[in-house]
Chains A and B, each alone.
Chain A
Amino acid sequence: MKYFIHIDDISEANRKFAGDKAFNIALLKQSGVNVPASIALKTSACKDYLHSSGMDTFILRELKRKKLNDYRWEELWDISLRIKNAFIRHEMPTNMQNEISSYIKDSFGDKPIAVRSSAPGEDGKNSSFAGLHESYINLTDTKEILKHIRLVWASLWSVSALLYRRQLEIDIFKSSMSVLIQEVISGECSGVAFSKSPDNSQCIAVEAVYGLNQGLVDGTVEPDHWNIDRKTIRICDFFPASAHNKIVTPAKDQIIVKDISPNTKSLPPLNTKQVIMLANEALRQEKHFGHPRDFEWTFQDEKLFILQSRPITSPDDNTDLREYYDNLLLSFEQLKKIRIKLENDILPGMLKTGNEWKQKNIKDIDESDLLDCLVERGKEYRRWLKAYDEYCIPFAHGVRLFGEIYNSKLNPEDPYEFVDLLRTGELLSLKRNQRIVDLSRSLLVQHNDIETLKTIEDIFGYKYKDMSEVPDKLLNLIESYTDVAKPECCKNTMEELFINSFTDGQKASAEELLDLGKASYRIRDDDNIYLDGVKRGLESIIKEASNRISAGCFNEEQKNVVEKELAKGIPELHSPNINNNDKPLYDETIKFRQLVGQPAGKGIAKGYARVINKFDDLFAFKKDEVLVCDAVEPEMTIVAPLASAVIERRGGMLIHGAIIAREYGLPCVTGVPEATKKIKTGDLLSVDGWLGIITIL
């Protein structure tokens, strides 16, 4: 048993090998509390696995691509996904598998077990990783047990855990993970208790649900809540759940949510005696450990079991951060609600606003009306921008949620294979780009000037009286689309494979999830087009107001208001990292030969760089050039059909640049530090989208 410590043998001396959760459970058992039969898989097992599988180098490569603080959270999510996928795919060495599975068999027989994270230092008084590392319940099959142990290890690099460690300046490369393996106690009711309520320090708080407490922990099942006076041990408040209609119970190698039986619907899960018993246990633990505690418990046949116990961390900035990072990952139910809001309210609203503003003739309105219009549009645009932040950005997580489930079911070699399943060829930006191709071709043959001018206005937002007014640079750009081929629409042959990986009872949910993933993927790009329509309306009124200021049309009072409004500018979605300093950042003796980023679009291409620092730079874009930018903004995707590859400073596998590149089958590398500074327009580049390497030839 090289890799295991029995719960009875865990002490302060070997705590660092068993981890905090296992150590706390061991202390409770030694103090006479009922705990499930438990063993700890030592941190050395994780270390040996990392070394023998080469995962240590893999993780290092992922996290050392640039400075840790330079990774955006989306990039860390990508890293986390790739690491998790690698853990799923890399099995343990045979001798390790044999030792672990035979010791578990000897300890638990065929009983279902839980595998819980138990990282050293995860349950400190000043930091708590509660909810950031993973635990899995009700496993019986050996292969599943081994896989879920690997998933517990992988959660050391979950996006929330990475962000939390970075914030607390805990060395990511020195963290390790033990696994607490416990018999599953399938109690009639379960819950959590706090020796000091987070809401009222004079009270003990108890929360309870029917069945397993996973429903309570992940928010699926609403608990009943009691507050108990710490001095008198009397119940002072009882807040029943709005309904007792769900229960989480064990099923084969998983847990499921079921409807509750009608007989128990009206009753709380705990009686008064049990509530008082839990309150006393909370105080006993506080006294035993010397500080306030929270713990998970379950009642089985009237017998109380403590499943895990940890110190209550003071609600400081770190707690807020942990919760913030945990909340970045929205649940399926939360995403469904956001989708309804987006599809019924936000996106139609943005579209309507954009269209109304486009149709309004602002050239003919008087100064007073123009002023009102300017103020109103500024306010409206900022309102939509806020809605974009609140709804559009979080909804992008639908793609991520789908990807995580796809990978856990199908175990693909490429952790981004799932994206192909979400592509439907229906993105608004693709349709817009196809209109430019059509326009370009129509210009070659007989064309109707009025129609052409209207299309130019629709696509680019520029209004011209006749063709002679259209600048050559715009016409040249349009003409270069003539021989652009239509991107191939994805054939979703994987769809059936995905749906069939679920049991019959789960297939409807799987289809719902797929539909949500597709909507998230589509809206991730479309929302920019909608918001861009609103932005153009604001730009046009700003331009008109500026012209009238120059022409001296406003009185002094109006002029002041206009200038104040113009000073607010147009807030952007992203803050591009542009070097406005004329002085080169690098000495002329230094030439960057190879740059490294995230491989966000497979393929290899060679072409001359076109560095885009401002919108006007797009007009110079020539077919087969490589688009190099700080962050691909919605208007930049216009040149995607002309590009041979895409390079972006901002990192991520699911950002606009990566999405549009994937749609057009372009090699794409994102997250390249200082891309627009190290690459110059005209540099001949080789872009390797397989490895994420750019060579300046």
Chain B
Amino acid sequence: MENDIAWQNELGRRARIYEDIEAGHRFEGTMTVLDYAGMTVLTLVLVLGSWFWGA
């Protein structure tokens, strides 16, 4: 029972840390418009380039 309470407290502590980070917009290394644009461009270049080369 004590272990359960201690573990719930630990979960609460970790959740609070993430809530604080989220409220303060302090997530580091988040993906931006550049990342999404980059993955789209990379995918299109590889797909279209491979299609026209190989098909």
A binds B: no
